[in-house]
Amino acid sequence: MKSEYVNPFVEATVETFETMCGTVPKRNGKLEIKSGVFKTDDLVGIVGLSGNVCGAVLMAMSVETGLKSVSSFLGEEISEPDSDLMDGFGEILNIIAGAAAAKLSSFKIKLALPTVLLGQDQLLSGKQISPWIIIPMMFPEWGSFKIEVSMEEKK
């Protein structure tokens, strides 16, 4: 995956949270590239990317950070993990993926429907040929989260 594909996902993430949740997340440290099996956070959303690319975008955060961000998105307090948390989290990621896809319009990216997973000690696997680029990010008030992208151009 080329590094120039990273910025559209960062911009889309910032725009989505700023517009829909009223907060402006910032980059939080250096990018990491991971393959093999590695640990991710407890709340994970994933959207498959197809079209002229093959890959996926993933958003991962703690349940506590997820509850705060989805409460803000929804405009009402969610205090326990429930269907609103899972649905809202997936919808936020869907919007981020759509906004990033529009910025990468030359690839004519198509989005799969979001899938959200909740559980402790979840592991993610990435192939050496198509590793995950991990983009650490931070909300000013709710803690850290990650956007993770694995994307290759179809030949």
Partner 1 sequence: MKVLLTDDSTTMRKIQKRVLTSMGITDIVEAGDGTEAIKKLEENNYDFDFMLCDINMPEMSGLETLRKIRSTPECAQLPVIMCTSVAEKEQVMEAIKAGATNYVVKPFKPDDLQKKIESVIKIEK
Give me the residues that bind partner 1 (CB under 8 A), please: 15-16, 19-20, 70, 73-76, 83-84, 87-88, 90-91, 94-95, 97-99, 101-102, 105, 108-109, 111, 113
For partner 1, the closer CB: 59 or 124: 59
For partner 1, the closer CB: 15 or 152: 15
For partner 1, the closer CB: 15 or 32: 15
- What gap in Å lies between CA 122 and CA 126, rounded to an integer? 14
Looking at the chain, how many residues does it have? 155
Residue found by looking up tokens 């997340």 in the block: 25
Residue 19, token pair as written in the block: 């517009």
CB of 109 to partner 1, least distance (A): 8
- What gap in Å lies between CA 147 and CA 153, rounded to an integer? 19
Considering only CA atoms, which of 89, 46, 45, 47 is closest in space to residue 67? 89
- Residue 6: in which H helix or E strand, if any? helix 6-21
For partner 1, the closer CB: 79 or 128: 79
CB of 130 to partner 1, least distance (A): 22
CB of 3 to partner 1, least distance (A): 23
Which SS3 state, helix, strand or coil, does residue 39 take? strand
For partner 1, the closer CB: 40 or 69: 69
CB of 60 to partner 1, least distance (A): 19
Which SS3 state, helix, strand or coil, does residue 50 take? strand
**Inter-residue contact 21 to 14 (CB < 8 Å):** no
CB of 26 to partner 1, least distance (A): 17
